[in-house]
Structure formats: structure tokens, C-alpha cells
Amino acid sequence: MNTSNRIKNVEFSPIRKLIPYEEEALKNGKTIYHLNIGQPDLKTPKEFFESIQEFNEDILTYAHSRGRSGLIDEMIKFYKKHFNVTYEYEDILITTGGSEAILFILLSMFDEGDEILVSEPYYANYNNFFDVLNIKVNAFAADPKTGFHLPNKDVIISKISSKTKAIMLTNPGNPTGVVYTQEEMKLIGEIAREYGLYIISDEVYKVFSYGENRAISFGEIEGIEDNVVLIESISKIYSACGARVGAVISKNKNLMNEIYKLCQARLSVSTLDMVGAEGLYKKLSDDYFEKNKIEYEKRRDIVYKGISKIPGIEVTKPEGAFYVMVTLPIDNAEDFCIWLLTDFHLNNETIMLSPAEGFYANKELGRNKIRISYCIEADKLEKSIKILELGLKEYLSK
């Protein structure tokens, strides 16, 4: 019996290749600082667990396919408060994490062979969903020298065909840390209107933008309400990745009605995770985001400052999320990432990085790049940068 062609299209995570080397390094007693993962290290707020403890229904029944109404209400308040956008009950469908939101949005917009427009580099995991649904990716390259901001309009529209259904962006960016300006977002809006495209905006890092760069939601841009659909998740903003709660948010009634069919098909989202999530939105004050933002911003500054001093490395200051893309003075960053695990250490410590190839449709563009995630404490980041610096020096002198 054969498996489907569509599942054969899907590739295992590019980081998978590094895991045997990681395991070997750990077996040899090395300490590894993981700069490769986007799993926040901040504690999940106790309000999550407390809310679940207060749940006192006898039967854990299927929740409403739209999600618990209390949670939807809290999300509505959150968007009003943080982005001054007014959503209604029908504009929000709770999903099992941002992942299910992505899958349901794609199923509702794309037939096989349809095309999606993305700015590369982009979150590698999207490819799994594109590939299994036979959606063709049209990527325009964002320039590392601009901090991965958008290229000009001509470059973007040159990638649009009659089969293009949507443009998908992550803002703040993973893996880039870019935070789009209002002008860029208006440009995307203009293109979406002109070519009749949906804008799929993955905003799961929304509260993490630093300095002057407040991350704007695509929901704030006027005149494109029917084009925009947002991907929401509590994973990053509340350090609650293991709670599978996300949402699809859009004012496009027709689209939401179609996506609701899929919500009905899968019956419901985890009741207790939704109860916990509702507690987070309801009980935590704005201080919570502010405090975490300060912590991540501090780390961002450590990483950026440290890395930009390393000879031969090219980097621009990331503006949001907790990632930075780095161009190395070597041809194949993956080889270097493996070598750091197998052949290098500083006081028996080394680092694990993400080779950036997997974040590109045009693999060649990513071959000399890595993504660094700063989801570890400041002192470990300092050590990690030292390891990167000395490791690179030794690697280049081989």
C-alpha cells in the first residue's frame, strides 16, 4: 500500500538532521545552549493553572466548536485594548493552537495548485502545511541589509499570478525579528485590494516589539477588513506552548463561515486549556507583558551587541519577536552548526543553532545564514555568543 503523494511532499524539520549530533554531544558530557528553539523559558503564569483548578464541572463535555464564549470575550477585550480594533463574537474562532488556525485558513482558501505569496525567509513550519495541501509557494526575498523589511512594490507584485490567493506574513517576524512599519502594511493592503488577495497575518509574537517599533496588527489597517485574517496563539505571549489555544480572527463573514465548518468537523478545542487561557487574558495586568518585553529586549540587546562585534558576521538589529538572523562568512552554515556540536567546545560548553536554509524557498539564499533564538537567560546568552565567536574563528582557520 502506498502513502499519498501529498504526504511524501512533506519534509521532516530541517533541525532534525542536527539531533543525532546533539545527542552525541550530550552523551559526551557537553553542555549545550539551545539557541535553536522558539520555546519561551519564562514561567507560565500561575493564573493559567489556578483557573483550571477552579473548573468544577462534573463532565468534561465537548466545548462549543467556536470555542468557549468567555475566552472569545476576553480576546475581544484584548484586541480593543492593545490595538483599538473592535471584533465581534462571530469574528473569532478558537483553534487548537496557531497550527490548527493555519491549517484551517489554508484549507478554506486554497485548492491544490493555488499559490501563496510569502516574504522569505519565513517560518519553516508553514511549508508542512503548504506541501501537504499542494499549495505552491511564491516567495519574494527580503533583504538582510534592511533588517528583512519588505522590498518595493514591483518586486512583490512580480510574484503574483492568477492563481495567487493570499499573501502570508509573520509580524513580528520569525525568523527575522522584523516589525513592519505602517507604510509597509498599507502597501500590502494596497496590493491585496488591487489583486483580490487575502492577507494571512501570523501575529503570535504581537506583544514583543522593542524600542520605538510598536507592532501594528493588520486589523488596524483600514479598508482591508475583508482581506485580513489573523492567526492568534497564547503560546508565545503567555509562555504556554503546551496549552493548545489559538484563534482565527477575521471580519470576513463568508470566510469565517467556511472555516467554522472545519471547527465543527473537529468538534472542539481542549476545554481545560481554554479555561486556563481565559484566566490569563482576564487576570493578568498589562505589567505582565511589559515585564516580559523588558526581559526579551535586554536579551535582544545582548545578542545584537555581541554578535555585531564578531568579525565577518553580518546582522541587523531585530525589532521584535525573539529571533535574529545572522549571515556568516562561510558557505555552508549547516556544516558549521554540526561542527559546533561535534568538534568544538569552550569549557565543555557549546551551542545549538538553526541553519537558515529551511526558512527559505530559495535554499541558496539561506545557506550562509543561521537563526538565533534568545529564549535563554542573559548570562547564558553572553556565554553562547563567546562560543559562537571563538567557534567561528577556529572554524575559519581550519
Element (H, E) at 115: strand 115-120
Site string for a copy of itself, 201-230 (x = CB under 8 A): -------------------------xx---
Asked if 374 and 35 touch (Cβ cutoff 8 Å), the reply is yes
The residue (of 328 and 376) whose beta carbon lies closer to a copy of itself is: 376
Under the criterion CB under 8 A, does residue 77 sit at the interface with a copy of itself? no
Under the criterion CB under 8 A, does residue 19 sit at the interface with a copy of itself? no
Q: How far is the CB of 114 from a copy of itself (least distance, A)?
A: 7
The residue (of 106 and 315) whose beta carbon lies closer to a copy of itself is: 106
Map grid coordinates 519588505 to a residue: 150
Asked if 37 and 373 touch (Cβ cutoff 8 Å), the reply is yes
Under 8 Å CB-to-CB from 352, ≥6 apart: which residues? 18, 22, 32, 33, 34, 35, 36, 337, 340, 341
Under 8 Å CB-to-CB from 196, ≥6 apart: which residues? none
Helical pair 378-396 and 333-342, crossing angle rounded to 10 deg = 110
Under the criterion CB under 8 A, does residue 299 sit at the interface with a copy of itself? no
Q: How far is the CB of 249 from a copy of itself (least distance, A)?
A: 16
Sign, Cα dihedral of 354, 360, 363, 365 = negative
Q: How far is the CB of 150 from a copy of itself (least distance, A)?
A: 21
Interface with a copy of itself (CB under 8 A), residue from 59, 212, 287, 379? 59
The residue (of 4 and 285) whose beta carbon lies closer to a copy of itself is: 4
Under the criterion CB under 8 A, does residue 196 sit at the interface with a copy of itself? yes
Interactions with a copy of itself, residue window 322-361 (CB under 8 A): none
Under 8 Å CB-to-CB from 236, ≥6 apart: which residues? 38, 40, 204, 205, 208, 321
Interactions with a copy of itself, residue window 229-288 (CB under 8 A): 239-244, 252, 254-255, 258-259, 261-262, 264-273, 276
Interactions with a copy of itself, residue window 20-39 (CB under 8 A): 39
127's grid cell: 511549508
Interactions with a copy of itself, residue window 132-151 (CB under 8 A): 132, 134
The residue (of 122 and 148) whose beta carbon lies closer to a copy of itself is: 122
How far apart CA 339 and CA 23 sit, in angstroms, is 13
Under the criterion CB under 8 A, does residue 129 sit at the interface with a copy of itself? yes
